[in-house]
Amino acid sequence: MTNTPLIPLVLITLILSLYLPVSYAGSAKQEVVTIDGREILLNEDSTWTYRSSDRYVSTDSGRLVRLKEDGSWEYVGNTPVKSRQQVRTRDLDIKLQKVVIEKHEKKVQKNSRVKTQTVFYVNLEYSPQAKTAISITDSDISYIEVKDNNGKSYPVVSLQADRSQLLPDSETTLVIRAKKSPSILNDVKSMDLIFNTGIFGIESPIILNQSVYNFFEDDVDGFE
């Protein structure tokens, strides 16, 4: 088996905290993780015991591997990542690939009328360790928001994907369209694409952000 690099100790603690049960104040026992990734059970009588001697490593592709004490190993999901254009949870890897301003110019007598849409292209990759399929439907747009850095909202009008169901160990590209587009004249510097709790089974909102200076523009014959 090819060796994989150990995750930095601080990152291990962060990763495992996402997967282990959370203890609340007043609990008889607490489960914690040491800085070297070992799981510890804290007892109410001030004693402690190892809950597990397993270790964790991350592959180059971002998959989290649990190295068991008996010498075996297993994939347990993704290594969590969070940046402006990417959020990786245990089961989902969501990347904002690009944002395109579509412009449609229509001649009205001697004048021209320009309409625009803001289009987000998002890659959605589902972990092989996921247990259930994800359905992608038109009604999911009710869980999606688009806002600029000034707090202005842009209504989401459509959600398209090349498949209606995402199975474990598969991926798809989402095309999300919102009405109108931001204006630099209005001091709009960036836009947020927000996936709210409930869509794709996520348990907390996911926000992807892109600077308007990195937007693309495309002239189109009309809007779908």
pLDDT tens-digit map of 46-75: 888 877 777 767 677 767 777 777 878 776
**pLDDT at residue 119 tops 60:** yes
64 neighbors 74 (Cβ within 8 angstroms): no
Q: How many CA atoms lie within 13 A of 68 on its CB side?
A: 7
Q: Note the pLDDT tens digit of each residue in 173-207.
A: 999 999 999 876 678 999 999 999 999 988 889 99
pTM of the entire structure?
Answer: 0.69
**Cα 200-208-151 angle, rounded to 5 deg:** 110
Which domains does the chain possess?
9-77 (no CATH), 81-219 (2.60.40.1240)
**pLDDT at residue 137 tops 70:** yes
**pLDDT at residue 31 tops 90:** no
How many residues does the structure list for the chain? Answer: 224
Sign of CA dihedral 157, 166, 78, 143: positive
Query: Closest by alpha carbon to 136, among 94, 79, 80?
Result: 94
